[in-house]
Amino acid sequence: MTERICRRLADLLSQALDPAERDAVRGDLAELQAPRGKAVREMAGLVVRRQAVLLKDWRLWLTVLGLIGPAGVLLNRMARGLIGTIDRQLRTYLTYDVPYRNGLTMPEEAIVFLCQLFVLVLSSWIAGMAAGALLRRAVWTAGALFVLVWIVLAIVSPMPNVWLPGGIVFILPVIWGMRQGVRFGAPAFGAAISIAAVMAAMIAVATWTSGWRQAGLEAWSEGALPGGANWQTRLLPFAVMSWPAWCMLAIASLRKSGVLSR
């Protein structure tokens, strides 16, 4: 059992290396008949050294400051908000045996939730893909930084019931996007246009439906709770959160026009 875990762990770690180096190192460890635990340590040591060298690359820091930091914080907060909605419904139902009422019908509530969930998953996937395509060899460091954002937010602003599921809803699409970004690179112009179009449509729908909740709450409370934000204010977080999609579109169009090389 332990041996199987060690073998899987060494295989997983070796994925962070270039294919040729991965084969050579695994061959060396097999030839030296290194015990499994030692093989894992050796592999981890090499991966850490390789990633540490990449810390000198300015592109990593640009991506961290421009993409992973802001997108990670916004996506994480939105994920926590969404999971918080489910948590509130469940706890109200389990405690008082009635659904949590906010002026929306259940189908309306479900539509608002699903729209926001779709925008969140798509934005997380695109943020991951952008990080994977831009950083390639430093993708493990980028992934670790996304997780770090999640952990720091959990410490700074603890929400015990939602931090884990909220993090999973945000981290899994990021990892999936990173894999795609590393494998296929930045999308070509046609794909980037399609992604941006889907994103724009979903943002429009999510902005519109998020107004239902506020209008419903105002009607339900007979004006005691004001409807609040206008559409521009509701649009802003979605637009900021989705900026990696516009960034990918800009890169694809610059490449198409020949300003940027591949």
Partner 1 sequence: MLGEFEYLLLSAAARLKEEAYGASIRQDIEGSTGRRCSVGALYTTLDRLESKGLIQTWMADATPQRGGRPKRMVRLTAKGVAAAADFYNAVEQASRGLSWSASRVAVKA
Task: Catalog residues that contact partner 1 under the rule CB under 8 A.
Answer: 20-21, 23-32, 42-43, 45-50, 53
Residue 38 CB, nearest distance to partner 1 (Å)? 10
The 3 state secondary structure assigned to the chain is CHHHHHHHHHHHHHCCCCHHHHHHHHHHHHHCCCCHHHHHHHHHHHHHHHHHHHCCCHHHHHHHHHHHHHHHHHHHHHHHHHHHHHHHHHHHHHHHCCCCCCCCCHHHHHHHHHHHHHHHHHHHHHHHHHHHHHHHHHHHHHHHHHHHHHHHHHHHCCCCCCHHHHHHHHHHHHHHHHHHHHHHCCCCHHHHHHHHHHHHHHHHHHHHHHHHHHHHHHHHCCCCCCCCCCHHHHHHHHHHHCHHHHHHHHHHHHHHCCCCCC
Residue 37 CB, nearest distance to partner 1 (Å)? 14
Q: Which residue, 47 or 217, has its beta carbon nearer to partner 1?
A: 47
Residue 132 CB, nearest distance to partner 1 (Å)? 23
Residue 187 CB, nearest distance to partner 1 (Å)? 31
Q: Which residue, 3 or 23, has its beta carbon nearer to partner 1?
A: 23
